[in-house]
Amino acid sequence: MYPFNYHKPETVADAVALFNDADDAMYLSGGMTLIPTMKQRLAAPTDLIDLSGIAEMTGIDVAADKVTVGAFTRHNDVATSGAIGETLPVLAQLAGLIGDNQVRNRGTIGGSLANSDPAADYPAAVIGLGATVHTQERAIAGDEFFQDLFETALQPGEIVTRIEFPVPTRAAYRKFPNPASRYAVVGVLIADFNGAIRVGVTGAGPCAFRASGLEEVLNQNLDPEALEGVEVPDAGFNSDLHASAEYRAHLVKVMARRALNDLLS
Amino acid sequence: MEQSGEYRIAASREAVWEALNDPQVLGECIEGCQNIEKVDEQHFNVAVKAKIGPVSATFNAELELSDLNPPASYVINGNAKGGAAGFAKGGAEVELAEDGDATLLRYAVKANVGGKLAQVGSRLVDGAARKMADDFFAAFSTRLDPGAASTGESESEEENKDEVPRYESSGSRSIWLIAFVVLILAVLFAI
């Protein structure tokens, strides 16, 4: 064990004030990445600011055209929310595919997005559904939120407070999970907004991105056959012991076809 | 872990070589570099605090240069220690080749990783290493090509260029740092 200061503020404003006063503070949400990292001594913040006591970061609000999820909402709360299941089922389904049950009981949507792991599931939903990420200071368009490997548009001290998802006509998410971690080797979310198609891809590149090439094809012809001739370039894709860049590019197409089949059925 | 890469730097081979011989320039181009110390002509100590995602650790490295072939190629061998985070041993070969007005820099790194870093696997090694290398070369290219920088920065770059001759006498000692950056940071991000 090494010493650090533990704080549990009750408002976002208090959390930010604590962050600014500390030498080397980190926010703690579900802790599914940060705690193992600290246990391995790969991070040693002087101050840990636990966000679990902040009521304004919780809650799920479902309207006909918009689903708003508090940043501290745990994955299983999204997966099992009846209201989300009815209005935006793809989000509940996606949340139910994250990690294992233990991770889903602890991990939060805000923590996942702020961490921006290249293989996390939620970023595919933020990109594919064109969500808006709210912080204590501003609203960030989903398309601009993820910037690089573990890099987001968030500034130091900025906290994700809630995420607003527009409700599409229909949508589907498919992923190829790593069999051990259930991280998405590749995950593809396709959403149809009255004929306008959005495709969000996670796992393939350094961070989640819109597959504009696939969107162009599907906007003209919303048919799995149309995907056959599409080239997915693997430039800049992740390559590791689980999958080469070339294989990931192939998986993007396969997952897109499966998601499209789900969407059309 | 093995990794190789190639970067095109918009400057002559001599200019690249000179800049590579300036520890100050290199230190400024390595994000989180805290200290570069020259022990003797062929030995260096470097401290880097690197941060990516949730990981943040300080690494101290001892480096040895060999097979010096200025201004074309170099071999570096090194040991990096990151305290509880782990350690790495490895080597890298670096080559500079002329490409018209520009210079092509190629590197190939082989490293062995131990400690916690090795235990947690290598899911992100390549991506993290490549990103760090890209960041380094972007910063380095900007230093070498004032035209690409904003007006405000070009003055200080001129000043730094003037300092280069101070290091010329000791010649070919710092392509190692490029290789080292790739080596140590690749290792560091083996989580």
pLDDT digit string, tens, across residues B10-48: 888 888 877 776 677 777 777 778 888 777 767 778 888
3-class SS string, chain A: CCCCEEECCCCHHHHHHHHHHCCCEEEECCCCCHHHHHHCCCCCCCEEEEHHHCHHHCCEEECCCEEEEECCCEHHHHHCCHHHHHHCHHHHHHHHCCCCHHHHHHCEHHHHHHHCCCCCCHHHHHHHCCCEEEECCCEEEHHHHEEECCEECCCCCCCEEEEEEECCCEEEEEEEECCCCCCEEEEEEEEEECCEEEEEEECCCCCCEECHHHHHHHHHCCCHHHHCCCCCCCCCCCCCCCCCHHHHHHHHHHHHHHHHHHHHC
* A58-264: CATH, from 3.30.465.10, 2.40.50.140, 3.30.930.10, 1.10.10.10: 3.30.465.10
Question: Is the minimum CB–CB distance between A117 and chain B shorter than 8 Å?
Answer: yes
pLDDT in tens, A95-142: 999 999 999 999 999 999 999 999 999 999 999 999 999 999 999 999
For CATH 3.30.43.10, list the domain ranges present in chain A.
Answer: 5-53
For residue B177, what pLDDT is reported?
47
For the question of an ipTM over 0.85, the answer is: no
pLDDT over 50 at B176, yes or no: no
Q: Give the pTM.
A: 0.80
Name residues 141-200 of chain A within 8 A of B (Cβ): 148-150, 183
Give B126's contacts in chain A (Cβ within 8 Å). Answer: 238-240
Which CATH architecture best describes the domain A5-53?
2-Layer Sandwich (3.30)
User: Among all residues of chain B, which has the CA nearest to that of A24?
Assistant: B56
For CATH 3.30.465.10, list the domain ranges present in chain A.
Answer: 58-264
More confident position, B177 or A66 = A66
Give the pLDDT band of residue B106 (cuts 50, 70, 90).
confident
Q: How far is the alpha carbon of B2 from chain A, nearest alpha carbon, in Å?
A: 11
pLDDT over 60 at B108, yes or no: yes
Give the pLDDT band of residue A209 (cuts 50, 70, 90).
very high
User: Among all residues of chain B, which has the CA nearest to that of A151?
Assistant: B53
Question: Is the minimum CB–CB distance between A113 and chain B shorter than 8 Å?
Answer: no
Q: How far is the alpha carbon of A114 from chain B, nearest alpha carbon, in Å?
A: 9
pLDDT in tens, B60-80: 888 777 777 777 877 777 787
pLDDT over 50 at B191, yes or no: no
Mutation target to probe the A interface, by most A beta carbons within 10 A, among B56, B59, B113, B134 is B56
CATH class of B2-188: alpha beta
Question: Is the minimum CB–CB distance between A235 and chain B shorter than 8 Å?
Answer: no
Q: Do B56 and A206 touch (CB under 8 A)?
A: no
Q: Please give the share of chain A, as a percent, with pLDDT higher than 90.
A: 87
For A42, the closest of B85, B121, B127 (CB atoms) is B85
